[in-house]
Chains A and B, each alone.
Chain A
Amino acid sequence: MKSDDNTHITNLVGKAKSGDRQAYSELVKLKMNQVVAFAYRMTQDKDSALDLAQETFLAAWESLSSYRGDAQFSTWLHRIAANKTLNYLKKAKRTVSLGDVADETVGSTVESSGPDVQMQREQLRRHVLGFMSTLPEQQRLVFDLRFYKEHSFNEIASITGRALGTVKTNYREAVTKLREFAREKGWR
């Protein structure tokens, strides 16, 4: 299944590189959820996540000719998304503290009524976003790419442009903080 997916994506990338917009749209459709989810956890803000996804896909389209296929397409795409997101966070820091952003926007996504599943998911999101907002940006990025995107440490080193050892340390520190955070918040 996974290798079929990869072949399909490789085909689409090939077509898109030669200017096939329909193929690129298909790629965007396939990757949209993943890019938004990443940006959402990184920024803790839904609207920004949607904007960043749009920016990411446009930048990817513009620079598709530079994608040589030596890394997985998703690795390449995550690199662009990571750059966009980090730039956004640096800009945001200049105007408002991250904690403020997180509290405000996460709260607004909670629905007062709805099915149990939706409620549970909202609660999970709040927990996770709360935790993510406590991590320094680089640690957050590494944690996300490893835990949620299941990239190898080598891939993460390539995406972030950091040394392999640094990336591993970042991850270990993030997981250690997660344990402390969960204990403090009384997660079970």
Chain B
Amino acid sequence: MAIVDCSKVQEELLHRFPATDLEPAVEEHLAHCHECRRIRDEMMTLGDAMGSDEDFYPDTYQAHLVQEQVEKAIERPRITKLNLYRPVAIAASVVLIVSVSLISLMMSGNDSSKIMSPMLVADSAEYLSSQVASGELDQSTLEEVFRDFTSNYGYQASDLLLDDISEEELQYLEDNFDVKDLL
């Protein structure tokens, strides 16, 4: 079926950019429509002007340096790191999630749908710790806030791989909360 509608063809050109292999129906339209052909040509030129992934590759020396750094870092025993990694990620997530929620409550009253991003509150981990330490937050509140957060933002706890948490904070969370249940 031939597409005759110019706006549909132009939509398709945007959508498929920078592809030049278009549906036969689109090609057929282009063969007869000067305006759409002009846009197609413009898009092809634009596609070329944007280059390709390779144009942004680092030079060999720089790539080599990073490679070396990575190799050095992974020399450390992985098992220990893996064992540590998960609780750290979970605890960091919990800290951030609660921080976000608390701050959003304080700042925007009941509208928690357009608050700030997790990173913006990374600095508030300390604030949270004090809340936890003073006993103002308990396990059930934590879980509630967590669920609220994941449903609002679509984040998984393990996505928030932030290391803005001290060993003491981690220890405190592990000692006082069953963080594994939160996942």
By a beta-carbon cutoff of 8 Å, the part of chain A in contact with chain B is 19, 21, 24-25, 28-29, 32-34, 36-38, 40-41, 46, 49-50, 53-54, 57-59, 61-63, 65-66, 83, 87, 90-91, 94, 121, 124-125, 127-128, 131, 147-149, 161, 168, 171-172, 175-176, 178-179, 182, 187-188
Asked if B53 and A34 make an inter-chain contact with CB atoms under 8 angstroms apart, the answer reads yes
Q: Are A28 and B50 in contact (CB under 8 A)?
A: no
- CB neighbours (8 Å) of B180 from chain A are none
**Complex Cα–Cα for A37 and B120 (A):** 26
For B, the interface residue count at a CB cutoff of 8 angstroms equals: 44
Q: Assuming A41-B56, A50-B58, A94-B120, is B85 touching A24 (CB within 8 A)?
A: no
| B58 in complex: contacting residue of A36, A66, A121, A171, CB < 8 Å | A36
Q: List 8 A-B contacts (CB under 8 A).
A: A36-B63, A37-B55, A50-B62, A54-B69, A61-B73, A62-B81, A172-B11, A172-B14
Cα distance, A33 to B120, chains bound together (Å): 30
Given contacts A28-B71, A50-B62, 17 further A-B contacts (CB under 8 A): A25-B67, A28-B67, A29-B67, A32-B58, A33-B54, A37-B53, A37-B55, A37-B56, A58-B70, A61-B78, A62-B78, A62-B82, A66-B158, A91-B122, A124-B50, A124-B51, A148-B52
Separation of A182 and B54 alpha carbons in the complex (Å): 21
Q: Which applies to chain A's interface (DSSP): helix, strand, loop or mixed?
A: helix
Given contacts A50-B65, A124-B49, A127-B49, contact A87 B119 (CB under 8 A): yes
A49 touches B117 (CB 8 A): no
